Structure 1
Amino acid sequence: MKFTVSQSSLAQALAIVSKGMGSNASQPIISGVHLIAENGTLELQTTDTTIFIRHSIPANVDEAGETVLSGKILMSIVKNLADAPVSVEGDDHNVMIASGKSSFRLNALSPEDFPSFPEYEFENSVELDSDVLQTMVDKVYKVTYKDNSRPILSGILTTVEDNTIRLVATDSYRLAVCDTNVDTSNAEAFRAILPGSVFHEVLGLPGMTEKILIGITPSQVVFQFGNTTFIARKIEGNFPNYKQLLPKSCTTKVTVNVADLASALRRVSVIALANPSVRFDIECDAKLMKLSATSPDQGDATEYVNIDAEGEDLSIALNYHYVNDCMNAVSDQDEITLELQSAMQPGIFKSYAKVNYLYLLMPVRM
């Protein structure tokens, strides 16, 4: 094997495939990067046995071949090289890397021991705008369950139908839904529970293209963009019926400036260290919302926020961490509405824009 490639493209390629490198000390092969050089292309593959990533870049290939090198070491070397051609030459046992005045000899692992990249055939697929998807995933990702003990809740329900993309996530304490209009006239209906962490990570990879293809196989979800293929395990099961949680009406509706509420919440929550509960008292006639927090050890804090409101005066206590996540999700908007039914029923925040956003939050005891 012998090839030459630019340092910048190799560094970016390694940044992409590094997300799939394993860290099991008992299986050193999966902590490596499988390099395959042939026909003017260098292909890089990684896997931790649950995720598989493949990415290819142009290369000047003098001698076709393949090898497996330590991913961590290779990344460290390439990252610290100057932006100049990098020459790689070797076999299954030893590989020489040279660039400028620098040279390295690395021990190699046998490519025959590296897990084969999966073959797949889509049951269903859809191609979507990656910027729109990234905006939407950023709004719901924090609401996914971060413990693998409940895999369904760690996923993001993704549907594309009737000219609408909709993403839904819940951790059982809160629910986030966002949707936007797209032209789906040339696409078949799509519905899948995509792994939340993978979905979020893929859209943040360097080299993301304008469009991304998402495909479903009987056991896998596949993301394709540019010269990158990212495969993860499919989440099996039924997503909770979130629509039955959404009430048809409310007794109190509040419209508030996002920046005003976010800053007031930050100040009041300084007191709520041990107890994350913040009380919201809605005074419709006065058009004020009082935020208050109490700590037996630290004292108490109160702040008033101007609002537009209609309906009945009402008080509810909410976890300020969760409310703050909602404020961050709509920080690009001027206003948000809060719909309430009672102190013991969920509060629902809503924002309407290019990407519509709904955030349902269970109350805490006052």
Structure 2
Amino acid sequence: MKLTILKEKLNEGLKLNEKIAKKTLALPILENCLLETEKNFLKISSTNLETGVNYWTLAKIEKEGKICVPVKILTQIISLLPLEKINLFEENFVLTIENENYKTQINGVSPEEFPIIPQPESIKPLILDTELFCEALNSVSKIPMPSSARPEISGILISFKENVVEMVATDSFRLANKKIFLSENF
């Protein structure tokens, strides 16, 4: 893999991916992001096995390829560089980061170890009136309380059935329920 990219675009994608990738003792590969070239784009992917992120940004691709590197380390290095073009190239699972005055390397791992992020099947989009959605969310959001002792009641359940979007929340004493009726099924 060999490419040139603007620092601000790379940094934006890495910061988004860093929020998903977390340190885990059971699966250290989840601390990594997958850098992959696709035509004229650099794709940066991360997952925690519950949520996945794919971020595409334009780049000047000289050689196709992919590598897995620790996202936190890469983000810290990129954020220290001046605002300009950055050259990235990979050889033998080592990512080299280079610009006019700076050069460093990060050891990576095989991209084959990175978990596959499932792609959603094509589905019909749900179009809601923003005002109605915010009003419904606001009416149930006052009920749940953040609690590490009972995390199951610290959120809002949003369910989609035929032509109804329903929001439900509880704090074990009170129950809030709000329905939004849609004009068509989805």
TM-score interval, smaller chain: 0.7 to 0.9
Matches within 5 A, 1:82-231: 82-121=82-121, 125-128=125-128, 140=141, 143=144, 146-147=147-148, 151=152, 154-159=155-160, 167-176=167-176, 184-185=182-183, 187-189=184-186
Partner of 1:74: 74
Cα displacement (A) at 1:103: 1.8
Q: For residue 10 of structure 1, report the CA deviation from its aligned partner.
A: 1.2
Compared with structure 1, are the counterparts of its residues 135 and 57 closer, same or farther at alpha carbon in structure 2 (3 Å cutoff)? Answer: farther
Contact 1:159-1:167 within 8 A present in 2 as well? no
Correspondences of 1:245-324 after superposition (within 5 Å): none
1:2-81 matched pairs, under 5 angstroms: 2-81=2-81
How far apart, CA to CA, are the structure 1 residues paired with 2:55 and 2:42?
A: 8
Q: Distance in 2 between matches of 1:107 and 1:89?
A: 12
- 3-state SS of paired residue (2:68): strand
* Matched length: 185
CA distance in 2, matches of 1:75, 1:135: 38
* TM-score, L = length of structure 1: 0.43
Letter of the structure 1 residue corresponding to residue 96 of structure 2: M
Q: Contact (CA 8 Å) 1:146, 1:154: kept in 2 or not?
A: no
2:138 & 2:83 partners in 1: Cα distance?
33
1:166, 1:100 → 2: CA distance? 55
Aligned-residue sequence identity (percent) comes to 22
1:174–1:103 CA distance, 2 compared to 1 (3 A): farther
How far does the alpha carbon of each residue in 1:73-117 deviate from its partner, in whole angstroms, 9 at most, with x for none?
A: 011112222221111001342111113412211111110111111
Q: Distance in 2 between matches of 1:22 and 1:99?
A: 28
Aligned equivalents of 1:10, 1:142: Cα separation in 2: 39
Between the aligned partners of 2:34 and 2:21, the Cα distance in structure 1 is 10
Aligned amino acid, residue 93 of structure 1: F
In the TM superposition, what is the alpha-carbon distance from 1:38 to its structure 2 partner? 2.1
Distance 2:38 2:175 in 1: 48
Whole-angstrom distance in 2 between the partners of 1:78 and 1:179: 46
Tell me which of the two structures has the higher relative contact order, counting C-alpha pairs closer than 8 angstroms and 6 or more residues apart. 2
- Opposite residue 87 of structure 1, the aligned amino acid is N
Kindly indicate which of the two structures has a greater share of residues assigned to strand. Answer: 1
| Partner AA of 2:106 in structure 1 | L
Question: Structure 1 unaligned runs (5+)?
Answer: 190-366
| Structure 1 pair 126–67 and aligned structure 2 pair: CA distance change class (3 A) | same
Alpha-carbon distance, 1:62 to partner: 0.8
Letter aligned with residue 80 of structure 2: N
**Partners in 2 of 1:13 and 1:132 — Cα distance?**
32
In 2, Cα distance between equivalents of 1:141 and 1:109: 45
When Rg is computed on C-alpha atoms for both structures, the one with the higher figure is 1
CA shift digits 1:121-145 (9 cap, x unpaired) = 3677524577986786577177266
How far apart are residue 170 of structure 1 and its match?
1.9
CA root-mean-square deviation? 3.4
Tell me how far apart the structure 1 counterparts of residues 130 and 87 of structure 2 sit (CA, whole Å): 34
Which SS does the other structure have where 1:126 is aligned? coil
TM-score by length of 2: 0.78
In structure 2, the gaps of 5 or more residues are: none
1:188 to 1:145, Cα distance in 2 relative to 1, 3 A: farther
Separation in 1, partners of 2:100, 2:130: 37
SS in 2 for 1:143: coil
1:45–1:53 contact (8 Å) kept in structure 2: yes
Q: Residue 126 of structure 2 aligns to a residue in which SS?
A: strand
Equivalent residues of 1:67, 1:92 under 8 A apart: no
Quick one: structure 1 residues 77 and 128, their matched pair in 2 at CA, closer, same or farther if it must change by over 3 Å? farther
